């Protein structure tokens, strides 16, 4: 056996024997196959080793195959012969309309699937929006409950705050229609420019405003006036009082703007 191998190829002898039987491990196979490509002597030895292995196969004794196997094989061969291609002219066949039904059904299903996916996406978005709104409403409701609880709490202290700047002027008039007498008390009045005075006007329900007296504030913005001789006729129907800033000595008709005004009602 070794005499068939080239000198130096003895190293492959055992692997060739294993390879002939299919008993060589895969990693060694790759290396041997690479060598076999370029070595006719080793290829020849491999064929001889396979022949030896065939002797092993021939040595096996056993029963004959069942008779049905022969019939089975010959039937199969007959079927294969029938299947062999025969030159036939291809005849274009017009397909009936209903043969496209599966294709059409597939397309319809695909469209429905797309619509369902889109609808599902929209529903998801709407659901997310509703959830967000519910969370916000819940927060708002919680805040309203907290405010109401504070307002109605027995032990809460209520404090009103006013401006910390110049307090607004405050004028109070007391008028007696029956006699035509009147009195004015004022506080927080703004200082007047030089040559100017405040003038009180009685505005009747009908007719032009009537001058009702002059007054000036002191250094603290306080003023008080009660004319000795009423300038306003008795039984005048009062609508309102107004104050304007007028030249020293007063006028008979008010000069706009009205700086203070109070209804008689």
Partner 1 sequence: MLVERLRASDEGAMAQLYDRYSGIVYSVALRVLNDTGAAEDVLQEVFLQLWRNPGVFDSSRGSLGAWLSVIARNRAIDALRKRKPVTDFENVILSVECNLESEAGRKVSIEKARAALTKVPADQRKALELAFFQGLTHTEIAAKTGEPLGTIKTRIRAALTALRKAMIEK
Gyration radius (Cα) of the chain, Å: 61
Which residue from 42, 49, 202, 225 is in contact with partner 1, where contact means CB under 8 A? 49
Query: Smallest distance from the beta carbon of 66 to partner 1, in angstroms?
Result: 7
Q: Report the alpha-carbon distance of residue 181 to residue 212 in Å, rounded.
A: 10
Decide if 244 contacts 219 (C-beta within 8 A).
no
CB atoms within 10 A of CB 117: 9
Query: Smallest distance from the beta carbon of 88 to partner 1, in angstroms?
Result: 19
Which C-beta is closer to partner 1: that of 73 or that of 137? 73
**Nearest by Cα to 192 from 254, 259, 241, 253:** 259
DSSP 245: E
Which C-beta is closer to partner 1: that of 55 or that of 91? 55
Query: Smallest distance from the beta carbon of 19 to partner 1, in angstroms?
Result: 10
Structure tokens that stand for 52 in this block? 């030896």
Structure tokens that stand for 114 in this block? 């797309």
- Which residues between 209 and 228 bind partner 1 (CB under 8 A)? none
**Nearest by Cα to 198 from 211, 182, 181:** 211
Which C-beta is closer to partner 1: that of 79 or that of 155? 79
Query: Smallest distance from the beta carbon of 37 to partner 1, in angstroms?
Result: 13
Which C-beta is closer to partner 1: that of 38 or that of 138? 38
Which residue from 34, 41, 47, 111 is in contact with partner 1, where contact means CB under 8 A? 47
Query: Which range binds partner 1 by CB under 8 A, 39-47, 106-114, 193-201, 223-231?
Result: 39-47
61 binds partner 1 (CB under 8 A): yes
**Judging by DSSP bridges, how do beta strands 258-263 and 196-204 pair with one another?**
unpaired
Dihedral sign of CA atoms 239, 240, 241, 246 in order = negative
Site string for partner 1, 75-94 (x = CB under 8 A): -xxx-xx--x----------
Query: Which range binds partner 1 by CB under 8 A, 18-26, 94-102, 177-185, 233-241?
Result: 18-26
Which C-beta is closer to partner 1: that of 17 or that of 245? 17
Angle of helix 40-58 versus helix 13-21 axis, rounded to 10: 50
Q: If you write DSSP's letter for every residue of 9-63 in order, what string do you get? A: -GGGHHHHHHHHHT-S-HHHHHHHHHHHHT-HHHHHHHHHHHHHHHHHHHT---P
Q: Report the alpha-carbon distance of residue 186 to residue 203 in Å, rounded.
A: 19
32 binds partner 1 (CB under 8 A): no
Which residue from 30, 34, 41, 54 is in contact with partner 1, where contact means CB under 8 A? 54
Which residue from 40, 55, 117, 146 is in contact with partner 1, where contact means CB under 8 A? 55
Query: Smallest distance from the beta carbon of 92 to partner 1, in angstroms?
Result: 31
Q: Which residues bind partner 1 (CB under 8 A)?
A: 1, 13-15, 17-18, 20-25, 44, 46-66, 69-70, 72-74, 76-78, 80-81, 84
């Amino acid at each position: 056996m070794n005499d068939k191998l080239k000198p130096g190829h003895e190293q492959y002898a055992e692997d060739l024997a294993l390879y002939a039987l299919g008993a060589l491990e895969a990693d060694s196979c790759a290396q041997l196959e690479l060598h076999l490509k370029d070595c006719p002597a080793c290829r020849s030895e491999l064929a001889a080793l396979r022949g030896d292995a065939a002797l092993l196969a021939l040595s096996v004794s056993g029963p004959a195959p069942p008779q049905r196997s022969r019939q089975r094989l010959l039937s199969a061969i007959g079927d294969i012969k029938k299947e062999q291609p025969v030159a036939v002219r291809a005849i274009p066949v017009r397909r009936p309309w209903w043969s496209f039904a599966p294709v059409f059904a597939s397309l319809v299903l695909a469209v429905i699937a797309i619509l369902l996916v889109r609808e599902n996406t929209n529903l998801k978005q709407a659901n997310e929006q509703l959830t967000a709104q519910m969370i916000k409403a819940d927060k708002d409701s919680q805040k309203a409950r907290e405010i109401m609880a504070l307002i109605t709490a027995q032990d809460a202290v209520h404090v009103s705050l006013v401006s910390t700047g110049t307090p607004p002027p405050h004028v109070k008039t007391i008028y007696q229609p029956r006699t035509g007498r009147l009195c004015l008390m004022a506080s927080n009045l703004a200082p007047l420019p030089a040559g100017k005075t405040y003038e009180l006007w009685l505005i009747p329900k009908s007719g032009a405003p009537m001058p009702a007296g002059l007054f000036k504030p002191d250094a603290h913005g306080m003023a008080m006036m009660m004319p000795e001789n009423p300038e306003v006729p008795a039984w005048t129907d009062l609508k309102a009082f107004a104050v304007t800033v007028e030249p020293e000595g007063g006028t008979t008709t008010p000069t706009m703007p009205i700086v203070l005004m109070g209804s008689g009602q």
